[in-house]
A = this chain, B = another copy of it.
Amino acid sequence: MKISPLAPTSFPALPVVAGVRLAVGQSNIRYKGRDDLLLAEFTSGTQAAGVLTRSKVVAAPIIWCQKALRKSKTRALVVNAGNANAFTGKGGMASVARVTSATASLLKCKSEEVLVASTGVIGEPLPDARITALLPTLTRSLHADGWENAARAIMTTDTFLKVATRTARIGGRQVTINGIAKGSGMIAPDMATLLAFVFTDAKIPAGVLRALLREANEASFNSITVDGDTSTNDALLAFATGQAKHTAVKSAGAASLAGFKAALKSVLTDLAIQIVKDGEGAQKFVTIAIKGAKSDKAARKIGLTIANSPLVKTAIAGADANWGRIVAAAGRAGEQVVQDKIEVSVGGTLVARKGARVEGFNEAPVAAHMKGSDIRIALNLHLGKGSAVVYTCDLTHGYIDINGSYRS
Contacts and interface: CB of A to CB of B under 8 A. Distances in A.
Interface string A49-91: 0000011111000000000000000000000000010111111
Contact of A331 (B57, B310, B317): B57
A383 to B, nearest CB: 11
Contacts of A88: 355-357
Contact of A328 (B57, B124, B125, B333): B57
B403 A310 contact: yes
Interface of A: 54-58, 84, 86-92, 121-125, 185-186, 188, 190, 227-232, 308-311, 314-315, 317-320, 322-325, 327-333, 335-340, 342, 352, 354-357, 395-397, 399-400, 403-408
Contacts of A339: 56-58, 87
A125 B337 contact: no
Given A87-B327, A315-B407, 4 more contacts: A57-B339, A87-B355, A123-B356, A228-B308
8 smallest A-B Cβ distances: which pairs? A318-B404, A122-B324, A57-B331, A89-B356, A314-B403, A123-B324, A89-B355, A55-B331
6 contacts: A84-B324, A89-B356, A185-B311, A317-B400, A322-B407, A400-B400
Nearest to A57: B331
Main secondary structure of the interface of A (DSSP, over half): loop
A61 B198 CA distance: 53
B310 A57 contact: no
Contacts of A328: 55, 57, 86-87, 122, 186, 229-232
Nearest to A325: B122
A58 B342 CA distance: 13
A289 to B, nearest CB: 18
Contacts of A333: 56
Contacts of A90: 355-356
A332 B403 contact: no
A91 to B, nearest CB: 6
A123 B357 CA distance: 6
Contacts of A395: 310, 400
Nearest to A330: B57
Contact of A352 (B87, B230, B397): B87
